[in-house]
Amino acid sequence: MSNCFILLAAGKGKRFKSNNPKQFVNYMNKPLFMHSVDKAIKSKLFKLIIIVSNVPIKSIKDKSIKIIKGGKERYQSSQKALNFIKDKKFKNVFIHDAARPNFSIGLLKKLKSNLRNNNAVVPFVKTENSTKYRKVNKIENLNRDNLLFTQTPQSFDFKSLHRLSKVNKNIVTDEASLFLNNNKKVKFIKGEEGNFKITTKSDLKKKNIKSFYGIGFDIHRLIKDKKLYLGGTIIPFHSGLKGHSDGDVILHAIIDGLLGAMRKKDIGTLYPSNKRKFKNIRSPNMLLPILKTIEKDNYFINNVDINLICEKPKVSKYREKIVSSLSNLLNINKNQINLKGKTVEKLGLIGKELAIACEAIVSLNHYD
Ligand code: ZN
């Protein structure tokens, strides 16, 4: 993986009319520029993320993110970032304007796969508006079918872009222009209508955020001579959980919670226990298609809260291990996960250490 993501967040945004530059205003629960950063991280495509900003950003501690100072004009900021990474041996570089927070991770992946045969890949959309062009003393009609409105992120072969950028002295509004101005080939791919640029304050209201909640519950019997899986990781114990799969009650409760929040029935419908192909399936593999749906349908996990109900093992002893494993599997931060242990006063099957139960509640955000 040798891709670098450059986020240009140094603009002043004159049309936005605010003292706080638009890249830093609160947009759908977080600073506007963070939407792009989070998606770049989630895509797992990038070794390094560079944020070009003219105001200090203190909140970021991630080692894979570097913040550098920008230039006066956009093209100068981009030049600075490219110079910054010139000796870091990146094969590809993606350049993105922080004012477009609504692209999908799928678009990043398409940009990446198209780089295999191209040095410049640029998304575009068309317009539904009738379009005119003003010349010195008359206004001409333009055929809108021939108009391409380019977006960012744009992806490039690093060497080709750096070469063009080093010698450029002109104001260009995106990197695609550098290629076109020098008669170099650009591969245009279909962009996203939702990936609009936030220019004025009213653009902030174009998208709605909705929260959904889902609840999950699961219980499995404990049997001797079986490994105990909880939250996708092995926990040392005298018994393991019996089930058609590995019996991981935590992951099963979370899966049901996620399905519930997306209103997509339940784990039993997805993985019927009478189907042989699901026999002994590991629970992280049961989670994978659900995470794909989350990404495809534009949901984001807010938080997961879990009650693990058992006498033993002691949750406090394994909390860190289980939460770390869940954070990896769900691709979210550890501080979005809470795990509580609950005993049952030695009552019933759970009290006799013959079963473990779990309940989980999850909250998802959806952007329409
Ligand atoms: Zn289960």
DSSP string, 198-245: --SGGGGGSS-EEEEEEEEEEEEEEEESS-EEETTEEE--SEEE-SSS
Whether residue 254 has pLDDT greater than 70: yes
The average pLDDT across 41-48 equals 94
* 97 in the same domain as 162: yes
Q: Which amino acid is at 121?
A: V
Q: Sort strands 120-125 and 187-190 into parallel, antiparallel or unpaired.
A: parallel
* 73 in the same domain as 55: yes
The average pLDDT across 140-151 equals 89
Phi, psi (rounded to 5 degrees) for 316: -60, -30
Give me ligand 1 centre to Cα 365, in Å: 25
- Domain containing residue 38: CATH number: 3.90.550.10
Instruction: Round to whole Å and give the CA distance between 119 and 92.
Output: 9
* 245 in the same domain as 177: no
Whether residue 320 has pLDDT greater than 90: yes
Instruction: Round to whole Å and give the CA distance between 322 and 233.
Output: 7
pLDDT of residue 144: 87
* 244 in the same domain as 213: yes
The average pLDDT across 281-290 equals 95
* 146 in the same domain as 51: yes
* 53 in the same domain as 18: yes
pLDDT of residue 11: 84
- Domain containing residue 229: CATH number: 3.30.1330.50
* 251 in the same domain as 192: no
Give me ligand 1 centre to Cα 321, in Å: 20
Angstrom distances, CA of residue 9 to CA of 34, 97, 171: 10, 7, 17
Give me ligand 1 centre to Cα 308, in Å: 13
Mean pLDDT of the chain: 92
pLDDT of residue 300: 87
Into how many domains does the chain fold? 2
Per-residue pLDDT tens over the stretch 82-93 = 999 999 999 999
Instruction: Round to whole Å and give the CA distance between 2 and 45.
Output: 8
* 195 in the same domain as 60: yes
pLDDT bracket for residue 81 (50, 70, 90): very high
* 126 in the same domain as 86: yes
- Of the chain, the percentage scoring pLDDT greater than 70 comes to 99
Q: What is the DSSP letter of 75?
A: H
Per-residue pLDDT tens over the stretch 342-368 = 999 999 999 999 999 999 999 999 877
pLDDT of residue 168: 84
Question: What residue has token string 């869940």?
Answer: 326
Last residue of one domain, picked from the residues 138, 172, 205? 205
Give me ligand 1 centre to Cα 278, in Å: 12
Angstrom distances, CA of residue 303 to CA of 33, 254, 337: 21, 11, 6
Give me ligand 1 centre to Cα 244, in Å: 8
Whether residue 19 has pLDDT greater than 80: no
Report the DSSP beta bridge partners of residue 139. Answer: 134
The mean-pLDDT minimum among 15-19, 286-290, 300-304 falls in 15-19
Whether residue 1 has pLDDT greater than 70: no
* 215 in the same domain as 171: no
Angstrom distances, CA of residue 21 to CA of 31, 67, 119, 202, 294: 11, 16, 32, 15, 31
Whether residue 167 has pLDDT greater than 90: no
Last residue of one domain, picked from the residues 189, 205, 221? 205
Q: What is the CA radius of gyration of the chain?
A: 25
Nearest to 154 by CA among 114, 99, 95: 95
Last residue of one domain, picked from the residues 171, 205, 239? 205
* 271 in the same domain as 153: no
pLDDT of residue 246: 93
Q: How many CB atoms lie within 10 A of CB 184?
A: 15
pLDDT of residue 132: 87
Give me ligand 1 centre to Cα 316, in Å: 22
Give me ligand 1 centre to Cα 162, in Å: 53
Q: Is the pTM of this model over 0.85?
A: no
Q: Which domain holds residue 145?
A: 3-205
Residues with CB under 5 A from ligand 1 (ion): 218, 252
* 258 in the same domain as 155: no
pLDDT of residue 367: 74
